[in-house]
Amino acid sequence: MLEKVNLNLKLNKAKYKKVLPDLQRRLYDLQKTCWDNKIASIIVFEGWQAAGKGSAVNTLTGRLDPRGFKLHPIQPPRTYEKYHPWLWRFWLRLPSYGEVAIFDHSWYGRVLDERVEGLVEEQEWRKAYRDILELEHMLADDGVVIIKFWFHISKKEQKKRFRQIEQDPLENWRITPEDWERHQKYGEYLVAAEEMLELTDSEYGPWTIVEATSRWYSRKKVLDTVIKALEDRLGKASPPRVAAAPLDQREADLRAAMDAAEAAMVGKTGSKKPSGRGK
């Protein structure tokens, strides 16, 4: 499945910068309308390390009302959390009506990292598929919008990004020996990811595979997907689309000017600091 994904899809940076303000404005309007209509949504980010999930989350939340969303970066369970049912810690982070909950990693860690690294028995991670489907089905029945992203890059691209991040003295802390060990297990993670996508893709919780070689393409796809999902859920209550405001256009022009100035500076110095990318 994932081996057939076209990872050469790209988007011109200038085109991305031009459409970004309008997309973020539309997402803000939808967020407000969902709040008014008490429609909750859950956005899950999974995928390869250094595939750009963190950057996509930043873009997604850049113009949202911070009072209406919560970001949950999920880490391995703490000691006391292990004394509860395994989904308990996620249940505590589910959104209230009208809110958006964004999970940077999620309950899918049980059938990915915990499975591949041997942290749980096979019986446990196999049972987790049923638990996950039941959780998401229950949430969908309660009216929650569920949007799930898998950020996909090749093993070669991941290695390239790891090297770039390591060369940046301000960002190299993000790459650990454990990251390189997981990189060596790319094939094992690929098998686990494909099984996860196949067994947990549903009409109420569909997966969207994000071709993440081009960060501009991947960020726009995330915005487009979230906007469409919220529009579909709102139906007739969805706010009408409006033309980009002059302020949005000025912001786009300013970003383009800043990018041009940066490119000119790089041309003069002949060097450029490696850019780190979110995991």
pLDDT tens, residue order, the chain (279 aa) = 898 999 999 999 999 999 999 999 999 999 999 999 999 999 999 999 999 999 999 999 999 999 999 999 999 999 999 999 999 999 999 999 999 999 999 999 999 999 999 999 999 999 999 999 999 999 999 999 999 999 999 999 999 999 999 999 999 999 999 999 999 999 999 999 999 999 999 999 999 999 999 999 999 999 999 999 999 999 999 999 887 655 555 666 656 665 665 555 545 545 444 444 445
185, part of any domain: yes
273, part of any domain: no
Domain count, the chain: 1
Q: What is the pTM of this model?
A: 0.87
244, part of any domain: yes
Task: Tell me the C-alpha distance between 153 and 170, whole Å.
Answer: 24
DSSP-assigned states of every residue in 164-199: HHHT-TTTGGG--HHHHHHHHTHHHHHHHHHHHHHH
277, part of any domain: no
216, part of any domain: yes
Q: For the chain, percent helix, then strand, then coil, each to nearest 5?
A: 60, 10, 30
CATH number of domain containing 7 = 3.40.50.300
276, part of any domain: no
User: Which structural domain range is residue 7 located in?
Assistant: 2-266
